[in-house]
Structure 1
Amino acid sequence: MAGNTAGLSHDDLWPRAGDWPNADSINGDLDLVLVGLPTASTSLSPTRADATPDAVREALRKYSPFAHSADADLDVLTLADAGNVRDPDSDEDAATQRVADVATRSRLVVALGGDNAATVPAALGSWGSDVSTAGLITLDAHYDLRDGRSNGSPVRRLVEAGLDGRRVVQIGIQDFANSRAYAERARDLGITVITRDELLRRSLDEVMAQALEIAGSANGPIHVDLDVDVCDRAVAPACPASTPGGIAAHELRRVARVAARHPSVASLDLTEIDATADAADGRTVRLAALCVLEAAAGLALR
């Protein structure tokens, strides 16, 4: 998957991340596979989130695969790219199957959205037949429990597909970004909610340890949804629903690494970025690219 190298310096001693080989061209098992799920057509806000997977791939080229923790060096991993699923909004079953195909041969699938509708095929594909034992962790300003089918409904749809609400943990839920009705729905489903205010009083590692224990309580696979609108709008201007007061960029990066390090985490997604609406410096897309690398580093530490 060659990236756009125009304008980037070349140094034989400074390799660039990304440009990972096509997953279908590699025989045998893989460590981490990227797959693009460019969902956008059912979004509650106008978006070109379908442009984001390729933008994240290009942003990866701005970074190195080297992590200072020797054990997290990405050189020890077999990394691959499965490309983008064509029109996952219209054929969600095909998107789910594509994720399932790559999940059977990799330790971690990283799905690049797309809006939050991408979470449904990303999770179901990686869980396979294990929905009854699966767990879900979301980093999100919103509950995503809305009625209907949109980027506001993936958590509700996954519960309806068989996910036990008691193994769902939602981290970063914000005031003034949700309704009382959906807060009550989360409570009735048994979902564990850790609000943004609670995050200000607790360490992130402690919160993630709690979330991983709850989501993994049935010893099934865990999917982690990183909805980037959980971040402060200053660092995520390309997320239509990001708000001032969200979490910091370094916190989202930390979650990506901690989650991917856990042996029960089978998949992770990055969603709700409209690459065409980013700041001139590309800060939101760059953050997503760094989260991909953080996930790879976490996987190297398993």
Structure 2
Amino acid sequence: MKIPYLQKANAAFLDRHVTRASDLIQEWGGESFSGVGIIGAPLSKSSISHSGACFAPGTIRKAFSAFSTYSIEENIDLASCMIRDLGDIAMHVTDVLQSQNRVYETIFRVFEENPLWLPIVLGGDNSITYPSVKGFSKAKGKVGVIQFDAHHDVRNFQDGGPTNGTPFRSLIETGTISGNHLIQIGIRDFSNSKPYFDYVNNKGVTVYTMKDVRQKKMVDIMRKSLDKLKDEVDSIYVSVDMDVVDQSQAPGCPAIGPGGMDTQDLFEAVSYLGEQSIVEGLEIVEVDPTVDFRDMTSRVAAHVILHFLKGKRKSVEI
């Protein structure tokens, strides 16, 4: 017998005229599909500092329930968009290299079965970028990467091995991507060393510092970046390290710092990139829910994804 007003424990308030962004996410049953699919890569044992980033895929998914599907700024509703949730990649308990290899194998295997998959990868620390892009490039061909980050992430391997500080060195040294096809945006003062700037400069990497971000329009940076890559690569992958955002707006990162990017600049950038058909993958890394405040950083991450999807909806049907 149904009793009026009785509902499931801890049920959220329901408004018949509001679609929550979390309603877009549907569990994947293993069938063939095309379009947007979220996959978690909960690895943080490879971080050079304390990190609970392994918990981020869950908190980012949860953060979707705080937002609706409607963009009032663009008069676009994502309510009909389906996001398949592929689940999380199982990490090895002790072997970091094995865990990273599992990310690579899983990303590529999903592409083998579903070549029109548009991946949204939820890290995890930044070490997952190397295997993620490696799997992506094996499926897509020649890849360009647009990286939003406070750091170059090209540390040497001798002082710690393949950590969250080395993914882009790994990508370049293995020939997975060319330095000429890497664009770094938001590199921050007093967060890097000159030898690592010299390394990316010698490899042909394009670097936009936070000074560049402050002085130039974000859309102009995006246009220039796309103009550089679009005729040289088959596909573009977007990597967002959440520590690119100022610590006041993204406190839940292992490497917070002042002088970072404003969230609105980041949202504008990923929305614009989402409009481009050559942009076919997005990852978000370095969210640590264990040091966050009221899930602020996970909510920013969810917004990044929604703005990216808004861009896709403006250009193509998703």
Q: What is the TM-score normalised by the length of structure 1? A: 0.92
- Residue 26 of structure 1: CA displacement? 4.4
Q: Which of the numbers 55, 59, 64 marks the counterpart of 2:59?
A: 55
What number of residue pairs does the alignment pair up?
A: 296
Q: 1:114 matched to which residue of 2?
A: 124
Q: What is the correspondence of 1:14-53 to structure 2 with a 5 Å cutoff? A: 14-19=18-23, 20-29=25-34, 31-53=35-57
Q: Mark the runs of 5 or more structure 1 residues left unpaired by the alignment.
A: none
- Between the aligned partners of 1:6 and 1:51, the Cα distance in structure 2 is 22
Give 1:282's aligned amino acid: D
- Between the aligned partners of 2:249 and 2:202, the Cα distance in structure 1 is 33
The answer to whether the Cα contact below 8 Å between 1:167 and 1:217 also exists between their aligned partners in 2 is no
Q: 1:123 matched to which residue of 2?
A: 133
Q: Which of the numbers 100, 108, 114 marks the counterpart of 1:92?
A: 100
After superposition, the C-alpha distances for 1:234-276 in whole angstroms (9 at most, x for unaligned) are 0111112121110111112222211222111111111111011
Q: Which of the numbers 218, 229, 233 marks the counterpart of 2:247?
A: 233
Pair 1:154-2:163 in alignment = no
Between structure 1 and structure 2, the one with the greater Rg is 2
- Residue 75 of structure 1: CA displacement? 3.1
Q: What is the TM-score normalised by the length of structure 2? A: 0.87
Alpha-carbon RMSD? 2.0
After superposition, the C-alpha distances for 1:142-174 in whole angstroms (9 at most, x for unaligned) are 000012210011111111232110111000111
Q: 1:297 matched to which residue of 2?
A: 310
- Between the aligned partners of 2:45 and 2:271, the Cα distance in structure 1 is 30
The answer to whether the Cα contact below 8 Å between 2:275 and 2:314 also exists between their aligned partners in 1 is yes
- Between the aligned partners of 1:91 and 1:296, the Cα distance in structure 2 is 29
- Between the aligned partners of 1:76 and 1:8, the Cα distance in structure 2 is 21
Pair 1:174-2:188 in alignment = yes
Q: Mark the runs of 5 or more structure 2 residues left unpaired by the alignment.
A: 1-7
SS in structure 2 at match of 1:21: strand
- Between the aligned partners of 1:124 and 1:136, the Cα distance in structure 2 is 11
After superposition, the C-alpha distances for 1:176-221 in whole angstroms (9 at most, x for unaligned) are 0000100000111000001100111110000011112223331311
Give 2:131's aligned amino acid: P
- Between the aligned partners of 1:169 and 1:203, the Cα distance in structure 2 is 16
